[in-house]
Amino acid sequence: MTAPREWIAIGTRPLVVLTAALAIAVNAASEPARDTTPPVPPKFVRPAHAMFVDDFTDGSLGGWTADEAAAWSVRDGMLCAHLPDGKQRHSFLYAGDSSWVDYAVDFDVCGMRGVDKGCAIRVQPGRRGLGVDLRGPGFDDLKLYVNQFPVGGAAFANSNGVWHHMRIEIRGRNRCKVAIDGSVVIDQRLRPPAPARGGIALSAYTGGVGACTVYYDNVVVSTLSAAH
């Protein structure tokens, strides 16, 4: 930023430069470093019956497939997704198969850098599916997308460096419910409807802010009845 000519004339340019430098320093200090370890995740109670379970304590990504392997790793028993800085970069980590129909996916998520975090369900080839995006600082909301088309949303305050438990339920072609930390945030019918079946995909996305480091843990997929 160039100081107005009249500010320079009265010798205030050093103050302007100092103020700008302090603002940059404050912003840098408020953003967790890329390698900062998140808080200890919630305690995991392994369910008796589930189609898919992973708490990443074995240190591997067995059962998962990444479209960009370098973006995903297991750190200290947690799944970590990290992308190079730059706007609109993304990667997905897939599990499950096309036989999954009515199910719920539970997981814990902690964003450390950036805004976007979440999961896609009923995922089909070509990245079609129902996307659930929990957006953090500066947005504080939840967005739903069917095949990248917006179909719903709700306000939900969530900060970086804090774990949140998400539960997403899908029944039939258009009945969706999303709960965060035990509170139902969205319960609606989808228009257009979601694909009829498919697996899940955890997401890493830099979005417009150009940054993404996010941790996931305690992923469970369980069957649901088609009835209410």
Domain residue limits, the chain: 1-30, 36-223
pTM of the predicted protein model? 0.83
Chain centroid, CA 184 distance in Å: 17
Q: What is the pLDDT along the chain (228 residues), one digit of tens a residue?
A: 333 333 223 233 333 333 333 333 334 444 545 678 898 888 877 777 899 999 999 999 999 999 999 999 999 999 999 999 999 999 999 999 899 999 999 999 999 999 999 999 999 887 789 999 999 999 999 999 999 899 999 999 999 999 999 999 999 989 999 999 999 999 999 999 999 999 999 999 999 999 999 999 999 999 997 655
Rounded to 5 degrees, what are φ and ψ at 8? -65, -40
pLDDT for the residue numbered 126: 79
Instruction: Please check whether residue 184 is in contact with residue 166, taking contact to mean a CB–CB distance below 8 angstroms.
Output: no
Strands (E), 34-163: 52-54, 65-66, 72-75, 78-83, 90-95, 103-114, 118-124, 128-135, 141-146, 149-155
Token pair of 30 as six digits: 């408020």
Arch. (CATH architecture) of 36-223:
Sandwich (2.60)
Report d(CA 189, CA 130) in Å as an integer. 12
pLDDT for the residue numbered 43: 83
| Host H or E run for residue 217 | strand 212-223
